């Protein structure tokens, strides 16, 4: 390690001579777009996600084989087989097809809980932030109780009690993402509520609804949205995890987590095949996290 | 642990700075914080560096202990403090100097102290570091220091955390910490700016008294003329990274040479009494990343002439001990 | 100080109560008649009737909760449908194994995370910082159960260096030798990956922020030695870091089910999975309750620890 470095000038004297750029509303989003366009890592992540999205949406049209029926004699063919580029699974089904179809369910299982939690948690959080008083206390204390549970355990417990199935998995995952979103939404709403320009709008006679919709909501929503994007990666991992345990999708559906489970038996004979579904989950999760980080950096004015 | 080299003390200047220039690289631009400064300080002398925000005075002060962030800072010129070449000294030598031979008092004591350690611990650790004494001895000395800076109930205050003290007491504690190893030179960066008006006077008086009792040199950076008149032997006015006037304090107040100095003195509340309007200096401080070739004060000067635009005036001395960078100042 | 601690304990009690209620409700959200969740399907009618009375299944919900709670406080978590043994007995054995694995993951893992997080913050902006940040992002994005499988593929199937599953002689006495340790390695790594990523990120952020504060300049201006300055940084970074590490340790213990499934580790996670698939609701409920209460207690301990380490909280609370 080098000698102790002073990482930042305390009371930077130079800053007082730099003229501050006023940030107009339109200018802010242009600035965000500009910063994003100069961030190669975030763009790469977004690009990969886009490609994956296309592949899984277009699966029914471009996938080479049937994801549900395979030929047992062709089971566990390795990667690079001329007719099956990514090999075949333990029932002889084409891996490339299975992965593409599997992506559909995996993405649905991963994205839906976060989207639902965003809406539900966002609503509760914003209400709590603005209402204040006993309503705020009630909502936040109930949220605290759910925070007392470790997320994985709660998801599994609820799934376990409800039973396997896509719907149940989505329900249990949504429930564990609602509390953190409520917290972020409430804190964003509270800080915006106290801002000066809301005060001035109020004093100029604007009604509460107008204030909320015109001034506050856009600000708060973007904040919550960026936070939610940071949860998608984890949601994908947990959703696939539930399927891996047998609590999500059921055979013969194609889904990355489920495939990881069924291929596990074959790791001694065809390890590379078992490697693939997890790789897809990993890739998706990494890219969502990179994009979320990039969004957060781009939207941070201070940066 | 090496003792800093102590040379022939009393005859040698405490501080000798020649042609100092400090620039920062930030983002795309380069900030010229200090542009060619010469500075001297004799032992037991108090120099006040006067200037507004962005004049480079804090940067100048920190350069004397090489406290600017090394990665972004580019320094040229020579800095000799207490016989040590600050620019060329290895890190170990600097660390031995800091806190023992040269010490600094910062502007905001609440953030300058570590919030999770007690005041006493932070004073004692300096003493233990430089004088190699035990914890018990260091603590005893810390109590003496707190009493020296007139902190009541010194022993109890030792065990307190910075946030538990009032602003004035905190600053006294910081002064105590700076004095803990009997420095020969004390640097104070706007020590009273963050304090209430009533407390400011107490701290200023305290600093002056301690400086005289302990025989230290003192360089005090401030934007407040009142502080300068109260403490300084000499004053140096900084503008846009340069010293535009140097003078003994009495002569400075009686007859300021540089138009900026005149503006500063005219802008005091005192001057504005008796129904006169508060005279302000029109305009704003310059952009340090885009300095003009001529006199930097030009846009705000009432006495600007054509000559001022083309070249930066050198320091002209109308009498011994006084100098100013202005074309209107007669050379001796 | 003591009053502060007591206050935190008292505040935790309603949370524990609500947590218990949610666990209690697990039986009722399960499809089917609650009674079928508690007794085996082939039980004689008088046993069924007895259980119905004992658990108050005809009574209103809150009364049932009260009855259930009183059983729990007495240590009776019911009986496992699969084995007939008391739930508490089943859990006790398994919990030890899970905690052992958790410690094996946390102690080296968190130390490593703190180290590289600090190094990254020190070298802010240069390649070392970027490498560590990249590593952290990767770590939190990995489906860790998949990583476990990959590790098994590499180290067990291909190289045959480490065992693929089981816990060796864990649970039958501990011996500090390779025979035992080898079983811990792969599961511990798998379990620790995501928490390591999170702790690294946290430490890097904390230390970075501390290094940019004013008091660091003062420390330099006092000419302190490097190790003293390190002490200052650590003490400032400690409160938040301890909190995050404590939370992550809680997740390690409570969320171990996926790792234990991959490695057939005989802990509470595996027990939970078996309970789910055997529809052994009393066991399921018992495990969730024990783990949740453990998590609540852990949060409480971390909370109090933070107070001890950060003087600002203590003094402010005491006023």
Q: Residue A112 sits in a domain of what CATH number?
A: 1.10.3720.10
- Distance between CA atoms of residues B58 and B190, nearest Å: 8
pLDDT at A223 over 70: yes
Looking at residue C154, what DSSP letter applies? I
Listing DSSP states for A211-277 in one string gives IIIIIIHHHHHHHHHHHHHHHHHHHHHHHHHHHHHTSS--TTS--HHHHHHHHHTTTTT-HHHHHHH
Name the C residues in 56-95 with CB < 8 Å from any A CB: none
Distance CA C82, CA A161 (A): 16
For residue range A59-93, list pLDDT tens digits in order.
888 888 887 887 777 777 777 777 777 888 888 88
Which chains lie within 8 Å of chain A at 3 or more CB pairs, if any?
B, C
According to the model, what pLDDT value does residue A179 have? Answer: 92
Give a yes or no: residue A294 inside a domain. yes
Decide if B188 touches C, using CB distance below 8 A.
Answer: no
* DSSP secondary structure letter of residue B200: H
Q: What is the model's pLDDT at position B30?
A: 87
- Cα of B100 to nearest chain C Cα, Å: 8
C-beta separation of A294 from A42 below 8 A: yes
Q: Does B33 touch chain A if contact means CB atoms closer than 8 Å?
A: yes
Contact of C142 with chain A, judged by CB distance below 8 Å, is answered with yes
Question: DSSP label at C157?
Answer: I
The answer to whether residue A267 sits within a structural domain is yes
Average pLDDT, chain B: 86
Residue-wise DSSP of A93-162: -BHHHHHHHHHHHHHHHHHHHHHHHHHHHHHHHHHHHHH-HHHHHHHHHHHHHHHTS-HHHHHHHHHHHH
B20 SS3 class: strand
Residue A27 lies in a domain: no
pLDDT at B332 over 60: no
Please give the average per-residue pLDDT across C58-75, as a whole number.
82
More confident residue, C223 or C181: C223
Instruction: Please give the share of chain B, as a percent, with pLDDT higher than 90.
Output: 49
The answer as to CATH 1.10.3720.10 being correct for domain C97-263 is yes
A131 is a domain residue: yes
The answer to whether the CB atoms of C22 and A145 lie below 8 A apart is: yes
Contacts of C275 in chain A (CB under 8 A): 160
Give chain B positions within 8 Å (CB) of C223.
94-100, 126, 129-130
Write out pLDDT tens, residues B235-284. 999 988 889 899 999 988 888 888 888 888 876 656 556 666 666 777 77
User: Helical H runs in chain C?
Assistant: 2-29, 34-38, 45-54, 61-73, 87-122, 127-141, 144-151, 178-211, 214-221, 226-254, 257-263, 268-277, 281-309, 311-318
Give yes or no for a contact between B103 and C221, defined as CB atoms under 8 angstroms apart: yes
pLDDT for the residue numbered B287: 81
pLDDT in tens, C145-157: 889 888 888 888 8
Name the residue in chain C with its Cα closest to that of B122.
C219
Residues of chain B with CATH 3.40.50.300: 9-95+185-275
Q: Which residues pair with B217 in a beta bridge?
A: B185
How far off is chain A from C23, nearest CA to CA, in Å? 9
How far apart CA A102 and CA A86 sit, in angstroms, is 14
For the cut 90, the answer to whether the pLDDT of residue C254 exceeds it is: no
| In the block, residue with structure tokens 């946030």 | B163
Place of tokens 């000395």: B141
Q: Specify the CATH class of B9-95+185-275 in words.
A: alpha beta
Q: CB-based contact (8 Å) between C165 and chain A? A: no
pLDDT given at position C65: 84
- Quote the percentage of chain C above a pLDDT of 90: 29
Instruction: Please check whether residue B31 touches A, CB under 8 A.
Output: yes
The pTM assigned to this predicted structure is 0.83
C-alpha distance from A293 to closest chain B C-alpha (Å): 22
Q: Identify whether A178 is part of a domain.
A: yes
Q: Outline where DSSP puts E strands in B271-329.
A: 323-324
pLDDT digits (tens, 9 = 90+) for C217-226: 999 999 999 8
Q: Is B53 close to A3, i.e. CB distance below 8 A?
A: no
CA angle B112-B118-B121, nearest 5°?
95
Comparing CA positions, the residue from B27, B22, B99, B112 lying closest to residue B63 is B22
CB contact under 8 A, C225 and B95: yes
Span C292-314, mean pLDDT?
Answer: 85
Q: How far apart are CA C292 and CA B170, in angstroms?
A: 46
Lowest-pLDDT range of A188-202, C72-86, C294-308: A188-202
In a domain, residue A162? The reply is yes
Look at residue B221 and give its three-state secondary structure: strand
Give B276→chain A minimum CA distance, Å: 30
CB A48 within 8 A of CB A283: yes
* Residue C12 scores a pLDDT above 90: no
CB contact under 8 A, A245 and C251: no
Contact A271 C153 (CB under 8 A): yes
Q: Look up the domain containing A101 and give its range.
A: 33-65+86-298
Mean of the pLDDT values across residues B108-125? 94
Collapsing DSSP to helix, strand or coil, B109 comes out as helix
Predicted pLDDT of residue B217: 93
Domain ranges of chain C: 97-263
């Amino acid at each position: 390690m080098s000698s102790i470095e002073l990482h930042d000038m305390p009371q930077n004297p130079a800053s007082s001579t730099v003229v501050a750029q006023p940030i107009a509303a339109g200018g802010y989003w242009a600035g965000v777009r500009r910063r994003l366009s100069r961030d190669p890592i975030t763009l790469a992540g977004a690009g990969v996600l886009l490609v994956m999205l296309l592949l899984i949406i277009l699966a029914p049209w471009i996938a080479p084989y049937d994801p549900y029926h395979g030929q047992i004699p062709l089971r566990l063919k390795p990667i690079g087989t001329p007719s099956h580029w990514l090999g075949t699974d333990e029932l002889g089904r084409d891996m490339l097809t299975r992965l593409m179809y599997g992506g559909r369910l995996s993405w649905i299982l991963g994205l839906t809980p976060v989207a639902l939690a965003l809406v539900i948690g966002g609503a509760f959080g914003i209400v709590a932030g603005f209402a204040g008083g006993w309503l705020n206390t009630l909502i936040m204390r109930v949220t605290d109780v759910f925070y007392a549970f470790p997320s994985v355990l709660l998801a599994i417990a609820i799934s376990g009690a409800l039973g396997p199935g896509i719907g149940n998995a989505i329900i249990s995952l949504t429930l564990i993402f609602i509390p953190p979103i409520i917290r972020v939404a409430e804190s964003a709403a509270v800080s915006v509520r106290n801002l000066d320009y809301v005060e001035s709008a109020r004093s100029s006679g604007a009604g509460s609804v107008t204030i909320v919709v015109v001034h506050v909501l856009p600000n708060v929503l973007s904040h919550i949205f960026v936070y939610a994007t940071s949860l998608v990666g984890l949601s994908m991992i947990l959703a696939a995890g539930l399927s891996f345990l047998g609590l999500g999708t059921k055979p013969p559906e194609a889904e990355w987590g489920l495939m990881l489970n069924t291929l596990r038996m074959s790791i001694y004979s065809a390890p590379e095949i078992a490697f693939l579904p997890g790789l897809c989950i990993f890739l998706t999760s990494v890219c969502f996290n990179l994009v979320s980080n990039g969004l957060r950096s781009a939207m941070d004015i201070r940066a | 642990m090496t003792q800093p080299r102590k040379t022939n003390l009393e005859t040698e200047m405490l501080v000798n700075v020649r042609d100092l220039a400090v620039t920062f690289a930030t983002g795309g631009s380069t900030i010229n914080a200090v542009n060619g400064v010469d500075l001297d300080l004799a032992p037991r002398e108090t120099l006040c560096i006067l200037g507004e925000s962005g004049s480079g005075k804090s940067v100048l002060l920190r350069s004397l202990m090489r406290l600017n962030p090394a990665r972004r800072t580019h320094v040229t010129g020579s800095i000799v403090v207490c016989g040590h070449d600050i620019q060329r000294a290895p890190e170990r030598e600097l660390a031995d100097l800091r806190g023992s031979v040269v010490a600094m008092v910062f502007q905001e004591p609440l953030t300058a102290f570590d919030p999770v350690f007690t005041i006493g611990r932070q004073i004692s650790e300096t003493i233990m570091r430089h004088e190699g004494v035990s914890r018990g001895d260091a603590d005893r000395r810390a109590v003496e220091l707190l009493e020296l800076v007139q902190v009541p109930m010194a022993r109890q205050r030792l065990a307190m955390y910075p946030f538990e003290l009032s602003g004035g007491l905190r600053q006294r504690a910081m002064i105590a910490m700076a004095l803990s190893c009997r420095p020969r030179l004390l640097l104070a960066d706007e020590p009273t700016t963050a304090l209430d008006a009533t407390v400011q006077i107490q701290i200023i008086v305290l600093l002056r008294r301690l400086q005289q009792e302990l025989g230290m040199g003192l360089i005090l950076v401030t934007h407040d003329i009142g502080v300068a008149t109260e403490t300084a032997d000499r004053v140096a006015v900084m503008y846009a990274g340069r010293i535009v006037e140097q003078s003994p304090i009495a002569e400075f107040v009686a007859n300021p040479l540089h138009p900026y100095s005149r503006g500063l003195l005219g802008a005091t509340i005192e001057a504005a009494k008796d129904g006169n309007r508060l005279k302000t200096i029109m305009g704003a401080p310059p952009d340090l990343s885009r300095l003009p070739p001529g006199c930097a004060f030009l846009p705000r000067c009432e006495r600007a002439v054509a000559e001022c635009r083309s070249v930066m005036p050198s320091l002209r001395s109308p009498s011994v001990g006084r100098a100013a960078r202005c074309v209107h100042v007669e050379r001796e | 100080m003591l009053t502060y601690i007591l206050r935190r304990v008292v505040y935790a009690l309603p949370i524990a109560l609500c947590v218990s209620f949610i666990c209690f409700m697990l039986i009722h959200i399960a499809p089917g008649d609650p009674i079928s969740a508690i007794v085996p399907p082939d039980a004689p009618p008088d046993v069924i009737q007895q259980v119905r009375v004992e658990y108050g299944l005809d009574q209103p919900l809150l009364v049932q909760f009260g009855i259930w709670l009183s059983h729990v406080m007495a240590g009776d978590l019911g009986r496992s449908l699969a084995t007939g043994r008391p739930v508490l007995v089943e859990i006790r054995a398994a919990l030890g194994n899970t905690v052992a694995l958790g410690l094996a993951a946390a102690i080296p893992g968190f130390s490593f995370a703190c180290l590289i997080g600090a190094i990254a913050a020190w070298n802010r902006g240069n390649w070392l910082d970027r490498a560590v940040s990249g590593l952290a992002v990767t770590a939190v994005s990995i489906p860790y159960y998949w990583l476990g499988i990959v590790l098994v593929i590499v180290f067990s199937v291909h190289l045959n260096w480490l065992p693929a599953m089981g816990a060796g002689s864990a649970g039958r006495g501990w011996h500090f030798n390779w025979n035992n340790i080898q079983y811990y390695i792969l599961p511990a790594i798998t379990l620790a990956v995501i928490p390591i990523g999170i702790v690294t990120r946290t430490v890097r952020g904390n230390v970075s922020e501390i290094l940019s504060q004013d008091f660091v300049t003062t420390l330099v201006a006092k000419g302190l030695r490097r190790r003293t300055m390190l002490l200052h940084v650590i003490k400032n970074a400690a409160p938040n870091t301890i909190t995050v590490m404590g939370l992550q340790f809680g997740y390690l213990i409570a969320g171990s089910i996926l790792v234990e499934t991959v490695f057939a580790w005989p802990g509470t996670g595996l027990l939970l999975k078996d309970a789910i698939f055997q529809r052994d609701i009393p066991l399921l409920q018992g495990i969730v309750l024990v783990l949740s209460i453990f998590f609540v207690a852990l949060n409480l301990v971390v909370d109090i620890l933070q107070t001890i380490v950060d003087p600002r909280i203590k003094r402010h609370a005491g006023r």
